[in-house]
Structure 1
Amino acid sequence: MARILAIDFGMKRTGIAVTDELQIIASGLTTVYTKELIPFLKDYTSKEKVELFLVGEPKQMDNTASESEILIKPFLIKLSEQFSNIPIIRVDERFTSKMAFQTMIDSGLKKQQRQNKALIDEISATLILQSYLYSK
């Protein structure tokens, strides 16, 4: 089997998480600067087989698209052009940043470590991936 890769897209940074090859365990992979995201994904997919991209879908409480969806649309077009053989599925990402921060508190990270926004993005991507795996 191939991996599933989840993307928590952000204006500055993007969190990335992947499954193991059996698609059982979701693990944070890294956080990259968004402007370097496509080159990073090209490099990663040249080394690892990826069968699916999950991209977080920010929504409002009333289920309408969030304002940041405007920034994600061009990325989705570029992603589908660059990786036409890998399907893309959107996953509701409401509350993932808050859940990521709470996960950091629960795991005992000190206040200074919890201010690491890159880590929050990576954990958010992992939560997106876990929610997809649970629903599967």
Structure 2
Amino acid sequence: METVLAFDFGLKRIGVAVGNTLLRQAQPLTVITVATNDARFAEIGALVEAWRPARCVVGLPLHPDGAEHEMTVRCRRFANQINGRFGVPTVLVDERYSSAVLGQRRGEIVDDEAAAIILQQYFNDYAES
């Protein structure tokens, strides 16, 4: 059994979810809301230390036709930074339709739930049985 952390990267917030390869069920964990890059990676480092994931999953935003955009590049960089800073293999998962299933109300923060959807998609589509 391996633990997996997932991230829904955003410029203001980063949603985090956790799951494992035995149960293959994602659970929302937390939302990182600190402003500076150093503070963000300090919080991520604390999560990596606490959960000791075998890998991390990062949602990869794309246009509906699959074309990349500015946030795609930022998410790739974020995934590379997780791998480089913490030595944890990182997988990118297409997140194009993950937010469509969230019934978000105005002002509600659902980034951790979005991360759980991304992680569940990883378990369903990418992780080995």
Same amino acid, percent of matched pairs: 28
Could you tell me how far apart the structure 1 residues matched to 2:96 and 2:55 are? Answer: 21
1:129 and 2:119 matched: yes
Which amino acid is 1:76 matched to? A
Q: Distance in 1 between matches of 2:97 and 2:66?
A: 13
Q: CA RMSD in A?
A: 1.9
Q: Is structure 2 residue 14 aligned with structure 1 residue 11?
A: no
The structure carrying a bigger helix percent of its residues is: 1
Contact 1:17–1:30 (CA under 8 A) maintained in structure 2: yes
Separation of aligned partners in 1, 2:62 and 2:49:
32
Instruction: Look at both structures and tell me which one has the larger radius of gyration over its CA atoms.
Output: 1
Separation (CA, whole Å) in 1 of partners of 2:21 and 2:76: 28
What is the aligned length? 123
Equivalent residue in structure 2 for 1:59, among 28, 41, 62: 62
User: For residues 88-99 of structure 1, what are the structure 2 equivalents within 5 Å?
Assistant: 88-99=90-101
**Stretches (4+) displaced over 6 A:** none
- Partners of 2:8 and 2:85 in 1: how far apart? 18
Gaps of 5+ in 1: 105-113
- The TM-score, its normalising length taken from structure 1, stands at 0.79
- After the TM superposition, which of the residue ranges 123-132 and 63-72 deviates more from structure 2? 63-72
Structure 2 residue ranges without an equivalent (≥5)? none
- Length-normalised TM-score, structure 2: 0.83
